[in-house]
């Protein structure tokens, strides 16, 4: 459901949330990000951090300076100005990825499941090559960065390229860093080695979480590459290219493909209507 009027909810004594709806629709995320952008510009007193999620904007505030009611009174008029989102600033980030990589295959063996990319092909009744063609054939919109440092949730902007697959019934206790995986509506990647339950389809040749990076222009002080509202375009690299890019990235000489753009939200929403 997309609410007629956003709902304001306290999350304990430290946060106020502005919720635009409860379903997994990109139009909700555009509103969340438009409000985030407007609040950043308005410099509302007392806000420590603006936290976008898929369908709700979280505001962490300093309870020595403000409270839920005061903050709501300051936020509401700004929220009313962003009812119709025309455009959003959005970086296009192209990420090198080795599809059908040996680490994913090894993990499938270790956890006694079918090689995940084969399983994804089966779920969608296509070949592995077609899985790769579909996955590289659309841009992915990052709706939220969260869960663990640098972890993201993203949706294909071209819904016809969606690859459906369920999560693991029993999650893996281990996933190598930089593996890209999908399940449900989302594609994401594991920034560092961690447990996980998404279907593994490839490995990034660059980090998405790199504290103390040799490329500080790309990785800020917190080490996290991606933001909500970025668009990702994956490109397929072979084993040799993968090694070259990884080594260059670690040496600080890899040229990341990142472009600042403005995303036409209105045009996009009009085009996706049947």
DSSP string for the chain = -EEEEEEEEEETTTEEEEEEESS--HHHHHHHHHHHHHHHHHT-TTEEEEEE-SSEEEEEE-TTT--HHHHHHHHHHHHHHTSS--EEEEEEEEEEEEES-HHHHHHHHHTT---HHHHHHHHHTS-HHHHHHHHHSS-EEEEEE-SSTT-EEEEESSGGG----PPPSS-EEEE-TTEEEEETTEEEE-SSSEEE-SEEEEEESS-SB-TT-S-TTTS-TT-B---TT-EEEEEE--HHHHHHHHHHHHHT----EEEEEEEEHHHHHHHH--
Find the shortest distance in angstroms from Cβ 120 to another protein.
18
Using CB under 8 A as the binding rule, whether residue 64 contacts another protein is answered as yes
Span near another protein by CB under 8 A; candidates 59-67, 107-115, 242-250, 265-273: 59-67
**Which position among 31, 53, 131, 187 is part of the footprint of another protein (CB under 8 A)?**
53
Least distance in angstroms from the C-beta of 10 to another protein: 4
Least CB distance to another protein at residue 104 (A): 22
Single residue of 30, 33, 55, 108 touching another protein by CB under 8 A: 55
Asked if 165 contacts 199 with a C-beta cutoff of 8 angstroms, the reply is yes
The smaller minimum CB distance to another protein, of residues 153 and 234, is found at: 153
Contacting another protein (CB under 8 A), which of 45, 69, 170, 251? Answer: 69
Q: Does 217 bind another protein (CB under 8 A)?
A: no
Q: In terms of Cα–Cα distance, which of 6, 7, 1, 51 is closest to 22?
A: 1
Q: Does 185 bind another protein (CB under 8 A)?
A: yes
Of the two residues 52 and 202, which places its CB atom closer to another protein in the complex?
52
What distance in Å separates the CA atoms of residue 272 and residue 264, rounded to the nearest whole number?
A: 12
Q: Which of 89, 171, 211, 216 contacts another protein by CB under 8 A?
A: 211
For another protein, the closer CB: 148 or 170: 148
Contact call for residue 123 and another protein (CB under 8 A): no
Contact flag: residue 150 with another protein (CB under 8 A): yes
Q: Which is nearer to another protein, 8 or 137 (CB)?
A: 8
141 is an interface residue for another protein by CB under 8 A: no
Q: 60 and 51 in contact (C-beta within 8 Å)?
A: yes
Q: Which is nearer to another protein, 127 or 173 (CB)?
A: 173
Work out whether the CA dihedral 95, 124, 53, 151 comes out positive or negative: negative
Q: How far is the CB of 100 from another protein (least distance, A)?
A: 27
Q: Indicate whether 4 belongs to the interface with another protein (CB under 8 A).
A: no
Does the footprint of another protein cover residue 52 (CB under 8 A)? yes
Write out the residues near another protein by the rule CB under 8 A.
1, 9-15, 17, 19, 22-24, 48-56, 58, 60, 62-65, 67-69, 144-151, 153, 184-185, 191-192, 211, 221-222, 224, 227-228
């Amino acid at each position: 459901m997309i609410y007629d009027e956003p709902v304001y909810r306290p999350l304990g004594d430290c946060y106020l949330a502005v919720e635009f709806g409860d379903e997994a629709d990109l139009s909700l995320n555009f509103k969340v990000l438009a409000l985030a952008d407007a609040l950043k510009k308005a410099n509302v007193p007392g806000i420590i951090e603006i936290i976008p999620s898929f369908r709700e904007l979280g505001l962490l505030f300093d309870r020595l300076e403000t409270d839920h009611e005061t903050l709501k009174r300051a936020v509401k008029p700004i929220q009313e100005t962003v009812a119709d989102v025309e455009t959003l600033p959005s970086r296009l980030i192209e990420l090198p990825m080795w599809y059908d990589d040996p680490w994913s295959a090894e993990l499938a063996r270790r956890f006694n499941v079918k090689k995940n990319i084969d399983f994804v092909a089966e779920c969608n009744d296509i070949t592995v090559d077609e899985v790769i063609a579909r996955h590289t054939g659309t841009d992915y919109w990052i709706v939220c960065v969260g869960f663990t440092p640098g972890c993201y949730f993203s949706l294909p902007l071209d819904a016809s390229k969606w690859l459906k697959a369920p999560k693991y019934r029993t999650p893996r206790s281990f996933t190598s860093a930089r593996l890209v995986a999908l399940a449900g509506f989302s594609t994401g990647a594991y920034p560092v080695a961690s447990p996980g339950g998404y279907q593994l389809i490839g490995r990034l040749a660059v980090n998405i979480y790199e504290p103390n990076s040799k490329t500080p222009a790309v990785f800020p002080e917190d080490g996290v590459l991606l933001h909500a509202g970025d668009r990702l375009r994956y490109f397929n690299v072979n084993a040799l290219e993968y090694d070259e890019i990884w080594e260059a990235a670690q040496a600080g000489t890899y040229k990341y493909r990142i472009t600042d753009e403005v995303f036409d939200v209105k045009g996009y929403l009009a085009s996706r209507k049947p």
